[in-house]
A and B are shown apart, each in its own frame.
Chain A
Amino acid sequence: MKELIKELTEAFGPSGNEDAVRQLIHNRISEHVDQVRVDSLGNLIALKGRNAESDVEPHKIMLAAHMDEIGVIVSYIDEKAFMRFAAVGGVRALHLLGSRVVFADGTIGVIGREKPMEKTEFPTIDKMYIDVGAPDKKQLTRKVGDLGAFMRPFADMGQRMTAKAFDDRIGCAVLVQTLIDLKTTPHDVYCVFTVQEEVGLRGALTSAFGVEPDVAIAVDVTITGDTPEAHPMAVSLGDGPAIKVKDGGMLAHPGVKNWMVETAERLELPYQLEVLEGGTTDAMAIQTSRAGVAAGVLSIPCRYVHSPSEMVDYGDVQNAVHLLVGLLSGPVSI
């Protein structure tokens, strides 16, 4: 599965430009699903249909993982070809200092900063710029509106892995692997690889309206409390996938949460319960779609979220797949 994870994390896909990620996922899943379509915003919606011979009560289940990653967008180019930019999603200026960004065509840019007034001045994006090494504006091929992503290769550290865009390519990898491992299911399983989560759960909103599920689970990363002087949080890398109780945008449906907990215990899979104070996932938008959807979240614990070097535990990832396969193989008890 690590090869899939490497490929997905290294793909280029800031919000609104998920084409490369979508193509990659499409290729990986096409022989494991019954139908695939792309909706008007660019969500990839794959259906694995139910086994009609099963006597389990069928449900329409939506799984969601977002394809997009945070990035930057060129907003203005000055006379000397320095490019001012805006954040696409929750990019922190501190993480940009000393970083490189890459554009869709492979062009590399270095992030520079205006001389601070004081040594202690906190960096802000409006005082930064991208330098692609063009001698002047005439020789610059970039345009206002070009999207850039963090440039950082995947690294396998053994039990743990680091890469850019684990948020949420690791969720995408979990869904792809689930579709491969899930040989048969009594449910209609819609795997939705969503767009534009980082700019406001936009793809989830429209795809949930289209799919109209009974039950939904988003698979996304969550932060951890296991690093030095971290904000207290009872989620650690390596202790199993986290079943969300609540986050900054939603209360997980208790039935969905308990269904996940009971299934994990039955299959003797490690899990942790997650209470996230800030931030949210696609499940928030799905939960309030149409007349409401029973929605929960399966989270992959992740350190350094929204930095170019996010870190996850391989065991957590594999156990998330096992848990999802278990959930989709049996009855839905909510």
Chain B
Amino acid sequence: MLLKELSEAFGVSGHEDAVRQLILNTVRDSVDEHRVDALGNLIALKKGDGPSRRKVMIAAHMDEVGLMIVHIEKEGWLRFQPVGAIDDRILLAKRVLIGDNHLPGVIGVAPIHLLDYKARNQVPKRKDLSIDIGVSSKEDAERKVKPGDYAAFDIAYAELGGQLRTAKGKAFDDRAGCAVLIELLRDRYPFDLHAVFTVQEEIGARGARVAAHAIAPDVAFVLEGTICDDMPKKRDVSPTTDLGAGPAITLMDRSMIADQRLVRLLADTAEKRTIPHQFKQPGRGSTDAGAIHLSREGAPSAVVSVPVRNLHAPVSLLSLKDLNDTVRLMRESLYQLTELDLSR
């Protein structure tokens, strides 16, 4: 199962090599050209079989949020900084894998017995946390780790089943998008498809920016794993997206107002083909599309996402049904794309 391999691959922002290699091995035979640019984006071209001259870019980011080792204490504990947005509350007592040799470590936490009332109601600050790799001196630690090494959460992929075919794993943001894009590359479309597996999205859409400049697309889509907060709540508030309700189409987030014509194309296609879909709550999050739609003279852009529970936490969950419906919605919409008038 490709999603399992993608989820378990190690790829914190700036060190996406393993994910890139995995994707390249998978798509190599189904694309016409591929290259890796200076920042590490994997750019694949699938030539069109129709008369359309339109250049279509579809991006999904390879990187995941994680940690970077910044300092080794004299007792051998590792101090770290987050890479990308990580909530301090989810770090305690979590297993991580450090460096290219996947050295196991555990983020240390004091036992509940030692916590007074005040301490129990506070989240320890990240700067007070450290990773335990089972050594007892700086010298021992330095034989295995050095500052600058990355750490990723250590979580195995598993399918929980159920009606929604729920799966758990790490980094569904955005390996879910990578999985969808890999599926889309199995087909040929009536236009040149530039598939970009980007780097460094989690720290500011950096890979997407340079890839979009190089490709200069006429239209762009970004495939994401997005916020899903559908746990039971006391108040009637938006879950942002619902698990199992189908691909989420973005209207507006912090980085982009989606092109209304592309949004209509996606929604109309979903209606016509009876593919479940939903609209993501406007105003939340940001994606590679923020950089892509402003590249050069601008490119009409849209974002389609797989809802992911526990986003940016070690264990995230998604519905394989949503994942398949995202592939269906994108594939069907892409076949309609050449008929869409994008002039003003």
Which residues of B lie under 8 Å from residue A276 when comparing CB positions? none
Stretch with Cβ within 8 A of A (4 or more), from B60-68, B96-104, B294-302, B309-317: B294-302
Which residues of B lie under 8 Å from residue A155 when comparing CB positions? none
From A38, A196, A206, B257 is in contact (CB under 8 Å) with: A196
Find residues 175-198 in chain A having any chain B CB closer than 8 Å to their own CB: 196
Does A78 count as interface, using CB distance less than 8 angstroms? yes
Q: Is the CB of B252 within 8 A of A40?
A: no
Does B50 count as interface, using CB distance less than 8 angstroms? no
Which residues of A lie under 8 Å from residue B294 when comparing CB positions? 41, 202, 205-206
A77 to B238, CA, bound (A): 8
Q: Is the CB of B297 within 8 A of A15?
A: no
Q: State the Cβ distance, A192 to closest chain B Cβ, in Å.
A: 12
Which residues of A lie under 8 Å from residue B237 when comparing CB positions? 76, 84
Does A97 count as interface, using CB distance less than 8 angstroms? no
Which residues of A lie under 8 Å from residue B238 when comparing CB positions? 75-76, 84
Q: Is the CB of B236 within 8 A of A86?
A: no
Which residues of B lie under 8 Å from residue A76 when comparing CB positions? 237-238, 281
Q: Is the CB of B282 within 8 A of A41?
A: no
Does B245 count as interface, using CB distance less than 8 angstroms? no
Does B344 count as interface, using CB distance less than 8 angstroms? yes
Q: Is the CB of A40 within 8 A of B282?
A: no
The chain B residue sitting closest to A195, CB to CB, is: B257
Find residues 76-105 in chain A having any chain B CB closer than 8 Å to their own CB: 76, 78-79, 84, 86-88
A240 to B283, CA, bound (A): 38
Q: Inter-chain contact count A-B, CB under 8 Å?
A: 73
Does A249 count as interface, using CB distance less than 8 angstroms? no
Which residues of B lie under 8 Å from residue A49 when comparing CB positions? none
The interface size bin for chain B is 20 to 34
> How many chain A residues touch B (Cβ–Cβ < 8 Å)?
31
Q: Is the CB of B252 within 8 A of A88?
A: yes
Does B251 count as interface, using CB distance less than 8 angstroms? yes
The chain B residue sitting closest to A73, CB to CB, is: B282
A274 to B213, CA, bound (A): 35
B interface SS class: loop
A31 to B296, CA, bound (A): 29
Q: State the Cβ distance, A271 to closest chain B Cβ, in Å.
A: 33
A270 to B44, CA, bound (A): 58
Does B342 count as interface, using CB distance less than 8 angstroms? yes
Q: Is the CB of B257 within 8 A of A40?
A: no
The chain B residue sitting closest to A43, CB to CB, is: B298
Q: State the Cβ distance, B298 to closest chain A Cβ, in Å.
A: 3
Q: Is the CB of B251 within 8 A of A210?
A: no
Q: Is the CB of A73 within 8 A of B298?
A: no
Given known A76-B238, A199-B257, contact A210–B297 (CB-CB < 8 A) = yes
Which residues of B lie under 8 Å from residue A202 when comparing CB positions? 293-294
19 chain-A/chain-B pairs, Cβ below 8 angstroms: A40-B218, A73-B251, A75-B238, A79-B236, A84-B238, A86-B252, A86-B283, A87-B283, A88-B252, A144-B251, A145-B263, A145-B279, A202-B294, A203-B298, A206-B298, A207-B297, A210-B296, A210-B297, A210-B298
**B residues within 8 Å of A by Cβ?**
218, 236-238, 251-252, 257, 260, 263, 279, 281-283, 293-294, 296-300, 342, 344
Top 4 closest A-B pairs, CB basis?
A: A86-B283, A206-B298, A16-B257, A76-B238
Given pairs A144-B251, A202-B294, 10 additional interface contacts (CB within 8 A)? A16-B257, A39-B297, A40-B218, A40-B298, A73-B252, A76-B238, A79-B236, A86-B281, A86-B283, A202-B293
